[in-house]
Amino acid sequence: MDSRIPDFYEETPERRREIITSRCLLSEEDSDALGEGPNSELMDSLSENVIGSISLPLSVATNFVIDGEDVLVPMAVEESSVVAAASYGAKLTRETGGFSTSVSGPYMLGQIQIRDISDPYSAKMRVLERADEIRSMANDQGVLVSHGGGCENVTARVVDTPRGPMVVVHLLVNVQDAMGANAVNTMAEAVAPLVEEETSGEAVLRVLSNLADHRVARARCTVTPDMLEREQSSLAGEEVRDRIVDAWAFAAGDPYRAATHNKGILNGMDALAVATMNDWRAIEAGAHAFAANDGYGPLSTYEIDTEGNLSCSIEVPVQVGTVGGATRSHPTASAAMEILDVESSDELVGIFGAVGLAENIASMRALADEGIQTGHMKLHAKNIARETDAPDELIEEIAARMVAEDDIRAGRARELAEELSQ
| Catalytic site positions | 79, 263, 279, 376
Contact predicate 188/206, CB 8 Å = yes
Round the CA-based radius of gyration of the chain to a whole number and report it.
25
Q: Decide: helix, strand or coil at residue 236.
A: coil
Q: For residues 318 and 175, what is the distance between their CA atoms, to the nearest angstrom?
A: 13
Contact predicate 358/300, CB 8 Å = no
Residues present in the chain in total: 422
Q: Which is nearest to 85 in space by CA: 265, 226, 301?
A: 265
Contact predicate 123/202, CB 8 Å = no
> 48: which DSSP letter?
S
Residue type present at position 224: T
Contact predicate 388/414, CB 8 Å = yes
Contact predicate 145/255, CB 8 Å = no
Query: 65 φ, ψ to 5°?
Result: -120, 120
Sorted by sequence, the CB contacts under 8 Å of residue 366 that are 6+ apart come out as 85, 372, 374, 375
Contact predicate 279/319, CB 8 Å = yes
- Exposed / middle / buried, residue 419 (Cβ in 10 Å: 0-12, 13-18, 19+): exposed
Q: For residues 112 and 166, what is the distance between their CA atoms, to the nearest angstrom?
A: 10
What is the number of other CB atoms lying within 10 angstroms of the CB of residue 254? 14
Q: Decide: helix, strand or coil at residue 349.
A: helix
Long-range contacts of 3-12 (CB under 8 A, 24+ apart): 8/49, 9/48, 9/49, 12/40, 12/44
Q: For residues 232 and 230, what is the distance between their CA atoms, to the nearest angstrom?
A: 5
Q: For residues 291 and 296, what is the distance between their CA atoms, to the nearest angstrom?
A: 5
